[in-house]
């Protein structure tokens, strides 16, 4: 899809899906941070848009603000919203909507009109680091039409602060289309934070190229930005083509759990399909009924012949598979333990424990 030229444009199904994820995740995030003893935390929407779509639907800045308003009684901290929009006409519309929205004094909202994300983020980070030794946690939503204006250095810098998170739209279709264009070289260097993307130019197979570029960005987040948990989600459109990836980076296990919860609760429609795409071997589609057989295979493959604990299995499920902490007990461990012959033995089962129950995280398990 070419980037729209008008001030306001039509909301496409793929953006609706992204908004749904953002909304669901932020519903958890604002409450966790709002009750986490922080005086203040910050929400940056680096490519904010006009805040409204052509049929009146909310844009991402309004979605974030509304979530914070809906949960204001559960939020003790102040929130500082920074919305950056480089097109003055779009920023103006956004400002008008914000001016009509009542909010508590402890929520500060600023639209950086006609400014660029990189510049504003740099200023913001300089300011918070000079003001305090304990900078506020930040969630940065980075949602460009393409790739220019998103320097990896900024992402890296945000993730260098404690308790910060990023959600980046990786516009695969656009990136792939322009990857060999010489005039885009500097922009791609900046976006990827490395020159390695050039190797993609000679990769002929579309699937291989797709995977290469996706993996490169994920690796950059993990290795160069030192992000502990990186997960990526693939949006396929109704033609079954990769539209974009969302890269989520966090150093918080709780954040990771909440993002997965947001993903698994998404109602996939015929118009789009969202999958966890972190591992090419595990492209798992989010659906009402998770593929428990796949999770079972993954658990067996990882732990077969070993003695482990419920807590370790859970950590594996959450951090190394697309599945959730709610998916492995009754649908994986229980059938393994109760099958005949059993596929799992509880080594230190206390007297009176009901087989198939794993509330004690220290239970020692042997996967047979
Ligand atoms: C994909 S749209 C954002 C949509 C919005 N996040 C939403 O979900 O409702 C990208 C927006 O970024 C703006 N933009 C483009 N380059 C920018 C830059 N370097 N800094 C800030 N905004 C930019 C565009 O004018 C456009 O409104």
Domains of the chain by residue range: 13-285, 292-367
The answer to whether the CB of 211 is under 6 A from ligand 1 is no
Q: Which residue has the higher pLDDT, 286 or 317?
A: 317
Q: How far apart are the CA of 320 and the centre of ligand 1, in A?
A: 32
Q: Please compute the mean of the pLDDT values over residues 295-317 and round it to a whole number.
A: 97
Given this model, what pLDDT does residue 66 score?
Answer: 98
- What digits encode the pLDDT tens for the residues 75-118? 989 999 999 999 999 999 999 999 999 999 999 999 999 999 99
Beta strands in the chain (DSSP E): 40-45, 78-85, 107-113, 138-142, 165-170, 229-237, 242-250, 272-276, 284-285, 307-309, 344-346, 364-367
Question: Is the CATH number 3.40.630 carried by domain 13-285?
Answer: no
Q: Is the pLDDT score of 1 beyond 70?
A: no
Q: What was the pLDDT predicted at 273? A: 82
The average pLDDT across 115-127 equals 97
Mean pLDDT of 350-367: 95
Query: How many CB atoms are closer than 10 A to CB 306?
Result: 10
Q: Check pocket membership of 149 for ligand 1, CB cut-off 6 A.
A: yes
Nearest-CA residue for atom 27 of ligand 1: 49
Ligand 1 atom with the shortest distance to the CA of 59 = 9
DSSP element (H, E) containing 172: helix 172-178
At 288 the pLDDT is 83
Question: Could you tell me the distance, in angstroms and rounded to a whole number, from the CA of residue 185 to the centre of ligand 1?
Answer: 21
Ligand 1 in reach of 51 Cβ (< 6 A): no
The arrangement of strands across the sheet holding 284-285 comes to 107-113, 78-85, 40-45, 138-142, 165-170, 242-250, 229-237, 272-276, 284-285
φ, ψ dihedrals at 363, nearest 5°: -55, 135
Q: Is the CB of 120 under 6 A from ligand 1?
A: no
Residue 246 Cα to ligand 1 midpoint, Å, equals: 15
Question: Are the CB atoms for 309 and 363 separated by under 8 Å?
Answer: yes
Cα angle at 118 between 112 and 123, to 5 degrees?
A: 65
CA atoms of 211 and 277, how far apart (whole Å)? 10
Q: How far apart are CA 234 and CA 243, in angstroms?
A: 8
Compute the half-sphere exposure of residue 38: CA atoms within 13 Å on the CB side of its CA. Answer: 24
**Helix (H, G, I), strand (E, B), or coil: what is residue 287?**
coil
318: CA distance to ligand 1 center in Å? 32
Nearest to 144 by CA among 171, 172, 183: 171
pLDDT tens-place string over residues 11-35: 998 899 899 999 999 999 999 999 9
CA of 260 to the centre of ligand 1 (A): 25
Contact 80, 111 (CB under 8 A): no
Report the half-sphere exposure of 226 (CA within 13 A, side-chain side): 6
CB of 86 closer than 6 A to ligand 1? yes
Closest CA to 310 of 356, 279, 342: 356
* Ligand 1 nearest atom to the CA of residue 117, by list position: 20
**What integer pLDDT is reported at residue 281 of this predicted model?**
74
Encode pLDDT of 210-246 as tens digits: 999 999 999 999 999 999 999 999 998 878 888 899 9
Is residue 52 pLDDT above 80, yes or no?
yes
Closest approach atom of ligand 1 to CA 15: 8
Residue 269 has pLDDT above 80, yes or no: no
CA 362/CA 122 separation, integer angstroms: 45
Query: How close is the Cα of 2 to the center of ligand 1, in Å?
Result: 13
3-class SS at 127? helix
Instruction: Give the contacts of 93 (CB within 8 A, at least 6 positions apart).
Output: 7, 8, 50, 51, 52
pLDDT per residue as tens digits for the range 150-192: 999 999 999 999 999 999 999 999 999 999 899 999 999 999 9
Phi, psi of 240 (to 5 degrees): 65, 35
Instruction: Please tell me the residue having the least CA distance from ligand 1 atom 9.
Output: 59
pLDDT in tens, 106-119: 999 999 999 999 99
Q: Inform me whether the pLDDT recorded for 337 exceeds 90.
A: yes
Phi, psi of 304 (to 5 degrees): -55, 130
Structure-token pair, residue 340:
């005949």
How far apart are the CA of 184 and the centre of ligand 1, in A?
19
pLDDT band with cut points at 50, 70 and 90 for residue 268? low
Alpha-carbon distance values, 258 to 161, 255, 272, 288 (Å): 20, 5, 22, 17
Measured from the CB, is residue 218 less than 6 Å from ligand 1? no
Contacts of 363 (CB under 8 A, 6+ apart): 309, 310, 346, 348, 349, 353
Name the residue with tokens 């980046």: 168
- pLDDT category at 265 given cuts 50, 70, 90 is confident
286 pLDDT higher than 80: yes
Residue 324 near ligand 1, beta carbon < 6 Å = no
Alpha-carbon distance of 4 to 117, in angstroms, equals 19
Is the shortest distance between the CB of 152 and ligand 1 below 6 Å? no
- 85 pocket-lining for ligand 1 (C-beta < 6 Å): yes
């Amino acid at each position: 899809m070419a980037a729209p030229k008008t001030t306001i444009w039509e909301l496409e199904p793929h953006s609706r899906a992204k908004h749904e994820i953002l909304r669901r995740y932020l519903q958890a995030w604002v409450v966790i941070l709002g009750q986490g003893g922080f005086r203040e935390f910050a929400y940056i929407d680096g490519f904010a848009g006009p805040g409204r779509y052509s049929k009146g639907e909310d844009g991402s800045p309004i979605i974030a603000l509304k979530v914070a308003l809906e949960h204001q009684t559960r939020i003790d901290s102040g929130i500082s919203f920074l919305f950056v929009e480089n097109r003055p006409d779009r920023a103006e519309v956004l400002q008008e909507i914000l001016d009509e929205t009542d909010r508590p004094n402890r929520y500060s909202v600023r639209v950086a009109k006609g400014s660029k994300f990189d510049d504003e983020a740099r200023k913001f980070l300089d300011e918070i680091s000079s003001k305090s030794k304990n900078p506020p946690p930040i969630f940065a939503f980075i949602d460009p039409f393409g790739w220019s204006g998103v320097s990896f250095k900024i992402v890296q810098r945000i993730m260098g602060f404690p308790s910060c998170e990023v959600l980046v739209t990786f516009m695969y279709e656009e990136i792939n289309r322009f990857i060999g264009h010489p005039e885009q070289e500097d922009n791609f260097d900046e976006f990827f934070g490395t020159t390695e993307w050039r190797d993609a130019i000679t990769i002929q197979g579309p699937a291989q190229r797709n995977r290469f570029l996706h993996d490169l960005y994920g690796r950059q987040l993990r290795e160069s930005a030192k992000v502990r948990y990186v997960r990526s989600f693939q949006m396929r459109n109704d033609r079954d083509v990769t539209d974009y990836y969302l890269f989520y980076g966090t150093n918080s296990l709780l954040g990771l759990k909440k993002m997965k919860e947001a993903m698994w609760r998404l109602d996939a429609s015929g118009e789009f399909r969202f999958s966890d795409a972190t591992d090419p071997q595990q492209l798992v589609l989010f659906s009402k009924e998770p593929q428990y057989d796949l999770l079972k295979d993954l658990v067996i493959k990882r732990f077969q012949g070993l003695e482990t604990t419920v807590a370790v299995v859970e950590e594996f499920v959450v951090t190394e598979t697309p599945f959730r902490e709610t998916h492995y007990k009754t649908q994986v461990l229980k059938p393994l333990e109760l099958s005949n012959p059993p596929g799992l033995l509880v080594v230190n089962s206390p007297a009176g424990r009901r087989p198939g129950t794993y509330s004690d995280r220290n239970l020692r398990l042997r996967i047979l």
